[in-house]
Every structure is written in structure tokens, then in C-alpha cells.
A and B are shown apart, each in its own frame.
Chain A
């Protein structure tokens, strides 16, 4: 997949490559994409909880 590129510190990239192999990802790109998607989902959940608590009158 060729898309926009993101720069990473070389030391961090090495660690990410090692970690992606350890976790069984096919590439470091797949590993990083998964981390970002996971964080975005958590952020969506966080907003949903906040909205619900507001709806219930507690925030």
C-alpha cells in the first residue's frame, strides 16, 4: 500500500518492527495502523460515554 508517509525516529521504528514481528503482524505498517485504529475507536467510545453521562445529567 502506497500512501502518505509518516516519519518515525529510527530507534522507535526498530522497536516497532521487533514488536510487530513478536505480535505476528505481517508488517510494521499493519502494526502501526492497528494501534492508530484502536486508539481512534477508544476515543469514539470515550466520547460516547461522556455524551451518555451528560444525557443522564451527571456531567
Chain B
């Protein structure tokens, strides 16, 4: 049986880079070009791939990466080809933490209440859509639990995915001190 594409998704600043780094350390091949360099907001790197931003124009290349993990922001999940089996690993983080972290990255204290409400609507919408897709299996991963209990989270994930990943190496990538936005 052909492997699915593993899609790491969620809101910006929900822990998608953290999960990508952990999967890579655990031995899952990832699709990343290293163009976006690590910075003070993501000291371990972003693990992104530029063509993802153009998925609305061309998503055919995803078929070549079955068995790999690729990071796709929640808003671009709508462009996943319906013929491609995908496991979407969706990072869940408190919306107030996400917005605070985004505001820090954007360098502005920008209407947190409004953004929490807008992103809640966005997440409801994309999850409703995902639930209707027969080619997508959705697994939600709690950012809080991942930070609190990395070995348990990764053990459970490898069991659910039935992948022989190195949980110890994955756990070593989690640095709780880097996650300052706790609400």
C-alpha cells in the first residue's frame, strides 16, 4: 500500500515548526528547502518549502512526496488534491497564545480579541471542510501536551501513525524554555 503524505498544519505560531523538527529528528523524511532561515522567533528553524505558497496554482508535486512530512498552513489545506491520501497533523494551541506570539512576531499589539475570534471562525471552517474529505485523516496534537509531556505525545503519535520513529530524538528537540506565551 502506498504511504500517505504527512501534512503538518495549524495556525502560524501554533507549533508547526516544532512538530516538523521533531518528525525530522525522529527519522521521517521532510520536505523543506531551508530558504526561511531560523530567527529569534523560531531558533530551530521553520522547515518550510516555498512551493507550498503556490499550492493554489500547482499541487501536483505533492504526489512525489508520499511518505514525507510537509508543512502547510491551515489556509492552504483546501488545495490538497482529493486523490492524494493525507494524514493531517493539526497543531492545537490556545488562540490567545497564538495571537500573542503572532503579535510579537509582527511587532505590534494588534487587537487580540478580534484575532482570536477571527481565527476561531477560520479553524471551524477548515475543520468542517477537512471532515468532509474522504482522503484526509485528521490528527489533532495539543501544543500544551507536547511541551509538557513530549515522550508521551510522540510515543502516542508514532503508535497512531504506525511509524518506527525515534521518540528519544524527537523528545530532545523540544525545549520548553522557548515557549514563553502561556495563557
A58:B12 contact, CB within 8 angstroms = yes
A13-59 interface with B by 8 A CB criterion: 45, 48-50, 52-53, 55-59
Chain B neighbourhood of A55, CB < 8 A: 106
Shortest CB distance B108–A (Å) = 10
Which of B76, B102, B121 is within 8 Å of A52, CB to CB? B102
Assembly CA distance A52 to B75 (angstroms): 12
| In the complex, residue of chain A having the shortest beta-carbon distance to the beta carbon of B117 | A45
User: Closest Cβ of chain B: how far from A45's Cβ, in Å?
Assistant: 6
Interface residues of chain B: helix, strand, loop or mixed (majority): helix
Are B12 and A56 neighbours in the complex by a CB distance under 8 Å?
A: yes
Decide if B118 touches A49 in the complex (CB within 8 Å): yes
B contact residues, total (Cβ < 8 Å): 15
A53 with B118: in contact, given A58-B73, A59-B53 (CB under 8 Å)? no
Please name all residues of chain A whose beta carbon is closer than 8 Å to the beta carbon of B182 when the two chains form the complex.
none
Residue contact A56 to B118, C-beta cutoff 8 Å: no
**A14 vs chain B, min Cβ distance (A):** 30
Q: Are B75 and A56 in contact (CB under 8 A)?
A: no
With a cutoff of 8 Å between Cβ atoms, the chain A residues found around residue B75 in the complex are: 49-50, 53, 58-59
Say yes or no: A53 contacts B73, CB within 8 Å: yes
Tell me how far the C-beta of A55 lies from the nearest C-beta in chain B, rounded to whole angstroms: 6
* B122 and A49 form a contact (CB under 8 A): yes
* Interfacial chain B residues near A49, Cβ < 8 Å: 75, 118-119, 122
Least CB distance from A51 to B in Å reads 11
B175 at the interface (CB under 8 A from A): no
- 7 A-B contacts (beta carbon < 8 Å): A45-B121, A49-B122, A52-B102, A52-B106, A53-B12, A56-B102, A56-B105
Task: Show the binding face of A for B, using Cβ within 8 Å.
Answer: 45, 48-50, 52-53, 55-59
Known: A52-B115, A53-B12, A56-B12. 13 other contacts (CB 8 A): A45-B118, A49-B119, A50-B75, A53-B75, A56-B13, A56-B105, A57-B36, A58-B12, A58-B53, A58-B73, A58-B75, A59-B73, A59-B76
